[in-house]
Amino acid sequence: MAGKVEDLTVLVVENQSNMRTQLRNMLAMCGIVKLQAAQSAGAAIRKLRDETFDIILCEYHLGEGQDGQHFLEDIRSHHLIPLSTLFIMVTGERSYERVVGAAELAPNDYILKPFAPELLRTRLERALNKREAFMAAWQLVEAGNAADAIAACEEGEIKYPVYAIDFLRLRAELLATTGRAEEAQAVYEKVLERRAVPWARLGLAKALFMRKRFEDAEQLLVALLNESDEYLDAWDWLAKTREAVGALKEAREALEKASSLSPHTLRRMRHIGEVSLELGDLESAEKTLNEVVRRAKYSDFRDPEDHVRLVKAQLGVGAADRASATIRDLEKSMQGLPKTELCKALSSAMVFTQQGDKSRATEAAERAVSLLDSRLGATTNLKKDLAKVCIEHKLDSQAADVVMDIMRHAADDAAVDDITKMLGDLGRPELGASLAQQMKSEVKDMMGEGARMAQRGDYEGAVTHMLEAVRRMPGNTMVTYNAALALLKYIEHSGWDAHYAEQARGLIERIQRSDPGNPKLGALHLYFDGLAKRFGARAAK
């Protein structure tokens, strides 16, 4: 077994006390004694916030509306565990192989119950040996060094042929997340030439989506789901693909199918509620969002905005009394969270508006505007609702502030135009046109001045100017791109600067999260990695 068994740390996540005891005994027979146990996903998450484990051994059915796959998705997506932490699922579900076959976030291994200690030891040895093979690539990924991680995958395919297909998978995922969708597509196609594995077909569909080939992506996803409707991530990507072309009703159908297969995933339920609101199906939205609020109340990842969405649906069906009760629940169950007061103020403004209490609605709307802060991470939809309330109560100055905040976080001119249309629908087209023109002029002027500074050789001035532009327009992809470019040009001409390199890496990752299909993203990654190699340096992660 790779590494010393006695030094390994294990977290057992199992809701049944007798099974926890059995797993403890089996692990002790394998030589592992440094272990802790958690009886729920929530308890496990609290432990993972405080320390790192080598292995997580998790039961698939955790009881009380929880399952191990959802738990895995939560801890991976919120970066609570490093790639080197091995996640092994324990399940009695014979169909689990199909469930995980096309999963984006799959466990390192799974074991079907019942099993003997000898089998557990064999599977642990297999997982640990694989971890040793992948450790170099994983460390490069976590250091933010995607280019060398991709190279390490190529080397791994040759050095460890038994894991060749797994290295191909990691390489394709890295290419996709660094904006090199066409190269990722080629790798997935190479895998599919060898074996028709579901995850490669899903990956190919994602690569096509990133290249905005939505029809091709949808056809591939539908074909995959026709073979097995248990591929949950394929349903999610089918919904996303349909949303991209405006087919909201069909997108909701895909999400509802996935939710029927895995009813405990709050992220998916929340998405169904949001799409229902957008479709104007307020009764369905209320039913779904009420369940989201109920289930999320004790979640480590609960969000007060769920209550705002529920209030919106309840007011839409004329249930102001239920909306008021939701606000009381928001105040009680979300107490102390950063967004709670903002969400309470906005929800109150909406309820008072429907009740015809103009004075209290105006007061609540003004309070909500005063609480709006970029550090809270409020969604664009929440800000739109706040802008609507302000316009309804003729709070033009506050409405303009909120709309400008939305526009400053907008990814591009198309997103700005969408906000402008919303204001037109609210009877204020002149306000929308004026603010949009102001925003577009600001972007054009700031990027133009940054470019002129760089052309004059004032690379440090260009950096200062473009970082200020990012501060003022943090969501604008072109501003973010040009700020990253200014930082890299400074490094190219003035030498490696660790602080500037770290800022550039952060901006590139911001683009990666918000616009992974951006055609310029791959070149930006290569520029960064080329400079790091040229100067023999690497930004700290």
Nearest to 214 by CA among 517, 513, 476: 517
**d(Cα 191, Cα 208) in Å, to the nearest integer?**
16
Which phi-psi region, left, alpha or beta, contains residue 105 (left: φ > 0; alpha: ψ -120 to 50)? Answer: beta
* Residue 455 contacts residue 482 (beta carbons within 8 Å): no
In a domain, 42, yes or no: yes
Task: Give Cα 15 to chain centroid, integer Å.
Answer: 27
What is the structure's pLDDT at 230?
84
What is the structure's pLDDT at 1?
42
**Domain housing 10:** 5-132
* Residue 270 contacts residue 292 (beta carbons within 8 Å): yes
11 with 127, same domain?
yes
**d(Cα 197, Cα 513) in Å, to the nearest integer?**
26
221 with 152, same domain?
yes
In a domain, 321, yes or no: no
What is the structure's pLDDT at 190?
93
516 with 466, same domain?
yes
Token digits for 121? 């030891």
90 with 150, same domain?
no
Token digits for 307? 């209550």
Bridge partner residues of 37 (DSSP): 12
Domain stop point among 246, 266, 296: 246
148 with 240, same domain?
yes
182 with 120, same domain?
no
119 with 21, same domain?
yes
Q: Residue 478's CB: how many other CB atoms inside 10 A?
A: 18
Strands in 143-213 per DSSP E:
none
Low-confidence ranges of the chain (pLDDT < 70): 1-6, 64-65, 94-104, 538-541
Domain at 117, CATH number = 3.40.50.2300
What total number of domains does the chain contain?
Answer: 3
What is the structure's pLDDT at 187?
97
57 with 165, same domain?
no
Q: What are phi and psi of 36, to 5 degrees?
A: -130, 165
What is the structure's pLDDT at 325?
97
42 with 107, same domain?
yes
Return the residue matching tokens 């909201």.
Answer: 248
What is the structure's pLDDT at 392?
94
What is the structure's pLDDT at 212?
92
Domain stop point among 132, 162, 180: 132
* Beta strand 9-13 pairing with 55-59: parallel
In a domain, 515, yes or no: yes
* Residue 26 contacts residue 34 (beta carbons within 8 Å): no
Token digits for 354? 């429907």
170 with 110, same domain?
no
Domain at 199, CATH number = 1.25.40.10
76 with 194, same domain?
no
83 with 154, same domain?
no
Return the residue matching tokens 């969501």.
Answer: 475
Bridge partner residues of 66 (DSSP): 63
What is the structure's pLDDT at 519?
84
Domain stop point among 198, 225, 246: 246
What is the structure's pLDDT at 266?
86
In a domain, 489, yes or no: yes
pTM of the predicted model as reported, rounded to 2 decimal places: 0.87
What is the structure's pLDDT at 139?
94
